Structure 1
Amino acid sequence: MDVPELLARACALVPGDARSDAGLSAGDVREYLRLTEWDSALGILGDFPDSPWQTVEFWSLLERAAGRMWLDREVAWCRWRGWEARHGVIRAELRLVPPDAAGGRRLPIPGEGRLRPMWAIGAPSPDAGLHVARVWVESAPEIPPGGHGVIRLAPLTPADWRHLEPGAPITMHEGRPVAGTATIVQVTAPPGHDGAEGE
């Protein structure tokens, strides 16, 4: 399939009443496709708020279209969102320890899911240890040392994180001292959430 067909198929999966964060709809996507403005159409399709209609198929179509347009960051984002469609969404407000304090990072947290720190998530049991999860920084290319921002988490073992609820505190570890503290702001279970786990 070529780019317009991939985007048109993804657009067909968008409910008629769905609106992007900018207030745009599937009709706007179709108009951009008519004008051969594929980047704009892809941008709108990737800008809809988290919703159950955003299936693995939807994100796979967008990933393939972005790949054919050589848009590496968009490919990574669509792949991330496809993972979330299978395993659920976990978002948190992260505040990093200052760089001059014990555990503080001297380098920024990269925004595109490359960092895989360990997290203390409080349960299922107090002695469960630390859990690995990749980090995607929302609305910014990175979080600077000592900074803060909203992140999305992709755990290595998603089932171990299902007890978390908004407001729950978790801590990020890259060594013995705490590297950052976070508060969960969203947990959305995957459809059926009894399927196979893993990445």
Structure 2
Amino acid sequence: MLGRHDSEIGELLRFATSMMPREVRSADLLDYLDLEEWELVLDLLGEFDGHTWQTPRYWALLAEAAVQMDQDDAWFQWRCVESIQGLLRVELTLSVDAEPLEARESARCGTSRAGSSAWRRCGSSPSPGWALGNARRPG
């Protein structure tokens, strides 16, 4: 099915697996590597979430394997960037008994829509920060 790239894909996935700590590697993963079940191995290697041992190189290997298997590499590229730049995850919760916020003066200006983006209209043209409701007074 994968043809001429089988050996290269196997090398990429084996190298990525070798970068994993021994305690994380499962027997199933190693069995699938031996059976050359590349799609399954790629899925298993890509499922690990939020571990510090995952380097940009690890994700780049998975991305390259995905490309060679004609699969989407976007998730692996995304994770590669996360491992370089870091990651901040927050959980936002809305409270049903929260007090409503008073509108600031800049929020009282009319709202204009152009295409798919909206901004507060308090001057002649949009400026940085308007999309966030931080309109500036002209002059």
**Which TM-score band applies after superposition, normalised by the shorter structure?**
0.5 to 0.7
**Structure ranking higher in helix proportion:** 2
Deviations 1:60-108 (A, max 9, x none): 1000001111111xx101101110111101223468xxxxxx9xxxx9x
CA separation of 1:94/1:4 partners in 2, compared to 1, >3 Å: closer, same or farther? farther
Q: Tell me the equivalent position of 1:22.
A: none
Q: Kindly report which structure 2 residues correspond to 1:150-165, keeping only aligned pairs within 5 A, or say none.
A: none
Matches within 5 A, 1:25-40: 25-40=25-40
Aligned residue pairs total 98
Q: Normalising by structure 1, what TM-score? A: 0.43
Partner residue, 1:85? 83
Q: With structure 2 as the length reference, what TM-score do the two structures score? A: 0.59
**What is the distance in 2 between the residues matched to 1:34 and 1:57?**
22
Q: Alpha-carbon deviations, 1:36-78, whole Å to 9, x = none?
A: 2111101111111211110011001000001111111xx1011
Which of residues 10, 15, 18 in structure 2 aligns to 1:9?
15
Residue identity in the other structure for 1:33: L
Deviations 1:108-165 (A, max 9, x none): xxxxxxxxx9xxxxxxxxxxx75xxxxxxxxxxxxxxxxxxxxxxxxxxxxxxxxxxx
Match of 2:53, SS?
A: coil
Taking every aligned residue pair, what percent have the same amino acid on both sides? Answer: 35
Unaligned runs of 5+ in 2: 1-6, 94-110, 118-127, 134-139
The structure with the largest alpha-carbon Rg is 2
Query: Does the 8 Å CA contact 1:55/1:85 hold for their aligned counterparts?
Result: yes
Tell me the C-alpha RMSD between the 2 structures. Answer: 3.0
With a CA cutoff of 8 Å and minimum separation of 6, indicate the structure with the bigger relative contact order: 1
1:51 maps to a residue whose letter is H
- Say which structure is richer in strand: 1
Counterpart-to-counterpart distance in 1, 2:71 and 2:44: 15
Deviation >4 Å, runs of 4+: none
The verdict on how the C-alpha distance between 1:94 and 1:38 changes in structure 2, with shifts beyond 3 A counting, is: farther
For 1:3 and 1:79, the matched residues in 2 are separated by 17
Match of 1:49 in 2: 49
